[in-house]
Amino acid sequence: MARKILLEHIDVPGINTYDVYRSKGGYASVEKALKTMNPQDVVEEVKKSGLRGRGGAGFPTGMKWSFLAKPEGVPSYLVCNADESEPGTFKDRYLMEYLPHLLIEGMITSSYALGANTSYIYIRGEYFYLVRILEKAISEAYANGWLGKNILGTNYSLDLYVHPGAGAYICGEETALLESLEGKRGNPRIKPPFPAIAGLYGCPTVVNNVETIAAVVPIINMTGDEYAKIGIGRSAGTKLISASGHIKKPGVYEIEMGITVEDFIYSDEYCGGILNDKKLKAVVAGGSSVPILPADLILTTANGEKRLMSYESLADGGFATGTMLGSGGFIVMDESTSIVQNLHTFARFYHHESCGQCSPCREGTGWMEKIIHKILDGHGTLEDIDLLWDIQRKIEGNTICPLGDAAAWPVASAIRHFRHEFEEFVKNPSAQREVKYYFHCNNIDTAAAYSSI
Amino acid sequence: MSELKEVRFSAESEDLIQNLIKRYPEGKQKSALIPALHIAQAEYDGWLSVPVMDKIAEILNIKPIEVYEVASFYSMFNLNPVGKCLIEVCRTSSCWLRGANDVVAHIEKRLGIKDGETTPDGKFTLKTVECLGSCGTAPMLQIGEHFHENLTLENVDELINKYKTETSHSKYLDGSTFRKY
Ligand SMILES: Cc1cc2nc3c(=O)[nH]c(=O)nc-3n(C[C@H](O)[C@H](O)[C@H](O)COP(=O)(O)O)c2cc1C
Ligand code: SF4
Ligand code: FES
């Protein structure tokens, strides 16, 4: 079922350069859209394709585009979300590094559909080497007449700019991103108004993920109806999955939605199985924010059906026994992993990244990190586990932006599925601490690492 | 307090900031703040002093407080001096699963400093950071704009040896990173 659409030409040498990209049919979607379609037709094709946002929330892209307000005399903007900071996610980086022109082509076709004459790619500051790559590709696109005034002799003009952030996960949240792009702290805005009504500089704005915008290119080329046939049910198309952790072949894989999770983890085409042939313990399937699932529940649903790589199947069972596709950041843990220690890295992350605007998130993330740290340190009590549960419940749903929920869910799911590990840590902390990470890594000589400490 | 020297950016930096301002609509020059701070930090030894931030405020025609509040929000801006080589090691889940703690412990031992500290000779600063989008090639660290991935302790030693003799500060960007409009 391997099906490459976005990554069709990934192995062609020099595909990151304009000439090679163009020789492989690059920029055809711009020609087709600008010469044979009006903007509304492009929006319709994207609607028909069933494409859903690849940034994490999975909102239907065509519908989002049709919400864009079009008041007279006010500019509208398309902003590409290349902030990619969700732990476990590195697909946008891959796409931009190896196929920068695919993103630029998608930006032009999408901007045309939205009537935007200025568009921005907001990229996380740590990816400065990608700013260099994108800027070079944009220069090539300008030089060949795909950007600038009167593209292809039509009356459509577009300027495209790259804008770096400076290290803040929260700037991936779309309204925080817009604040940041305006030169401010990345504090999420209270919604409504949504960006489609009042976004960048108060003007109607669409924010889309890198992969979403890239997918517009094949959709326009093959038509929305054809794209909708790929995948399974409401999970149309292909998805880039960033696979990491204890697997033989970490990396970015394009999958047709609907393959089984088991196939994804064990087949040689994808992850190639668990590192050192150990047993699978747990998976975080969609980036750090989604609930962690133990091996049995990630491989089969509570009803005993094989779980599939799709929005619906991963969510089957709700949070009691399911999870979410999220950003597609697929983190695999083998049998020797300490779930509590792993959770500590997530809790520390969310505490560090909370913007601090709402008390439940600002205080709650700090409390959760400290309590988990206390348990790891050997001072935990059984009541602490209940306290953790209580805190995460009080954060969820009570904050301005979904970062609060994202911080709560990993804690809730770890306790829900692995409560016994917390209890073991409390009862016998020193034995638990022996279960260390040292035995996992391929690269590092663990004996040397031990003796160096 | 260090002495308040007058801050003068190089012609190249000044020109680049002016060029960046053109990317945003008339009157929205504040949008250039984050890129401008990166340029300033690259020119002024990898950190942002108050006079440097004040100069950026002047160039962008905004209040100094608008610069301070942004500089203090984002983790890539350093408000205190850092070593010539700033080593940023990812410590989040995927890297942790593949040995990030060993990397940190090894660097701490080699350099005789803890997370967040600078060596007395001012050569190295160690900073642990959150996921840098390199989870499939974990463990990893970043120095300036460069990602060093699939680390082994030998790689880490090689990097330390290489940067020991480096005389200029590690940078995220230089004059050739941005396209001129
Ligand atoms: C805390 C937080 C972080 C986010 N980070 C990202 C991100 O790095 N990249 C991204 O595309 N979307 C991210 N999102 C989702 C965006 O808010 C938004 O839904 C997305 O960019 C919309 O694009 P899409 O519809 O194409 O997915 C984040 C959301 C939250 C709440
Ligand atoms: S939920 Fe957290 S990150 Fe989001 S606005 Fe509130 S404090 Fe900020
Ligand atoms: S977890 Fe280290 S780069 Fe993602």
Report the CATH number at residue A369: 1.20.1440.230
Cα–Cα dist A271/A243, whole Å: 7
- Same-domain pairing of B94 and B156: yes
Do B160 and B86 contact (CB within 8 A), yes or no? no
Q: What is the pLDDT of residues A59-110, one digit of tens each?
A: 999 999 999 999 999 999 999 999 999 999 999 999 999 999 999 999 999 9
pTM: 0.96
Do A221 and A249 contact (CB within 8 A), yes or no? no
The pick from A47, A86, A210 for probing ligand 1's pocket by mutation, whose C-beta has the most ligand atoms within 8 angstroms, reads: A86
Q: What is the pLDDT of residues A31-59, one digit of tens each?
A: 999 999 999 999 999 999 999 999 999 99
Q: Tally DSSP H helices, then E strands, for chain B.
A: 7, 4
- Same-domain pairing of B31 and B94: no
Q: Is A207 on the interface with B (CB under 8 A)?
A: no
- Same-domain pairing of A211 and A239: no
Does A440 map to a domain?
no
User: What value of ipTM does the predicted structure carry?
Assistant: 0.97
Token readout for A104 is: 């630029």
The pick from A173, A200, A351 for probing ligand 1's pocket by mutation, whose C-beta has the most ligand atoms within 8 angstroms, reads: A173
Q: How confident is the model at residue A437 (pLDDT cuts 50, 70, 90)?
A: very low
- Same-domain pairing of A217 and A239: no
Residue among A277, A409, A426 at smallest CA distance from A340: A426
Ligand nearest to the CA of A351: 2
- Same-domain pairing of B89 and B157: yes
- Same-domain pairing of B101 and B56: no
- Same-domain pairing of B96 and B151: yes
Q: Tell me which residue has tokens 């994808």.
A: A270
- Same-domain pairing of B64 and B92: no
Is the pLDDT at A260 greater than 50? The verdict is yes
Cα–Cα dist A5/A334, whole Å: 31
C-alpha B130 – ligand 3 centre gap (Å): 7
Residue in B94, B147, B152 nearest the CB of A443: B152
Does B5 map to a domain?
no
Does B171 map to a domain?
no
- Same-domain pairing of A425 and A313: no
% of chain A at pLDDT higher than 90: 92
Cα–Cα dist A212/A215, whole Å: 5
Does B174 map to a domain?
no
- Same-domain pairing of A187 and A256: no
Domain boundary among A163, A198, A229: A229
Question: What is the reported pLDDT for A377?
Answer: 86
> What's A296's domain CATH number?
3.10.20.600
Question: What is the reported pLDDT for B1?
Answer: 44
Does B116 map to a domain?
yes
Is the pLDDT at A440 greater than 60? The verdict is no
Question: What is the reported pLDDT for A241?
Answer: 98
The pick from A209, A361, A399, A401 for probing ligand 1's pocket by mutation, whose C-beta has the most ligand atoms within 8 angstroms, reads: A209
Q: Tell me which residue has tokens 């794209």.
A: A227
- Same-domain pairing of B47 and B115: no
Q: Which domain holds residue A128?
A: 18-229
Identify which has the larger pLDDT, A1 or B147.
B147
Judge if the beta carbon of residue A202 lies within 6 A of ligand 2. no
- Same-domain pairing of A256 and A371: no
Count how many domains chain A has: 3
C-alpha A180 – ligand 2 centre gap (Å): 15
Q: What is the DSSP letter of A399?
A: S
Alpha carbon separation from A66 to A70, A80, B55, B128 (Å, rounded): 10, 17, 43, 43
Does A293 map to a domain?
yes
- Same-domain pairing of A22 and A62: yes
C-alpha A55 – ligand 1 centre gap (Å): 5
Do A105 and A217 contact (CB within 8 A), yes or no? yes
Q: What is the pLDDT of residues A269-297, one digit of tens each?
A: 999 999 999 999 999 999 999 999 999 99
**Atom of ligand 3 lying closest to residue B137 CA:** 3
C-alpha A189 – ligand 2 centre gap (Å): 10
**Which ranges of chain B have pLDDT less than 70?**
1-5
Does B139 map to a domain?
yes
Q: Which domain holds residue B25?
A: 11-71
Is the pLDDT at A438 greater than 80? The verdict is no
Does B25 map to a domain?
yes
- Same-domain pairing of A45 and A94: yes
Count how many domains chain B has: 2
Does A394 map to a domain?
yes
- Same-domain pairing of A24 and A118: yes
Domain boundary among A290, A318, A334: A334
Q: Where are the beta strands (DSSP E) in A189-322?
A: 205-209, 231-232, 235-236, 238-245, 251-256, 280-284, 292-294
Q: Which amino acid is residue B97, in one-letter code?
A: L
Residue in B31, B101, B142 nearest the CB of A126: B142
Chain A positions in Cβ-Cβ contact with residue B74 (cut-off 8 Å): 125, 165-168, 186
- Same-domain pairing of A38 and A152: yes
C-alpha A61 – ligand 1 centre gap (Å): 13
Does A240 map to a domain?
yes
Does A449 map to a domain?
no
- Same-domain pairing of B89 and B154: yes
- Same-domain pairing of B112 and B48: no
Smallest CA–CA distance from B95 into chain A, residue:
A245
> What's B145's domain CATH number?
3.40.30.10
Judge if the beta carbon of residue B131 lies within 6 A of ligand 3. yes
Q: What is the pLDDT of residues A319-354, one digit of tens each?
A: 999 999 999 999 999 998 999 999 999 999 999 999
> What's B58's domain CATH number?
1.10.10
Portion 175-204 of A in contact with B at CB < 8 A? 180-186, 201
Cα–Cα dist A121/A104, whole Å: 9
Q: How confident is the model at residue A378 (pLDDT cuts 50, 70, 90)?
A: confident
Q: What's the whole-number mean pLDDT along residues A225-232?
A: 97
Q: Is A329 on the interface with B (CB under 8 A)?
A: yes
Does A5 map to a domain?
no
- Same-domain pairing of B92 and B142: yes
- Same-domain pairing of B50 and B106: no
Q: How confident is the model at residue A444 (pLDDT cuts 50, 70, 90)?
A: low
- Same-domain pairing of A121 and A134: yes
The pLDDT mean for chain A works out to: 94
- Same-domain pairing of A133 and A44: yes
Domain boundary among A302, A334, A366: A334
Token readout for A402 is: 């979904």
- Same-domain pairing of A286 and A402: no
Q: Do B131 and A136 touch (CB under 8 A)?
A: no
Token readout for B105 is: 């412990």
Cα–Cα dist A37/A259, whole Å: 34
Does B123 map to a domain?
yes
Q: What's the whole-number mean pLDDT along residues A184-209?
A: 98
Do A196 and A204 contact (CB within 8 A), yes or no? yes
Q: Is B66 on the interface with A (CB under 8 A)?
A: yes
Question: What is the reported pLDDT for B4?
Answer: 57
Question: What is the reported pLDDT for A409?
Answer: 97
Does B105 map to a domain?
yes
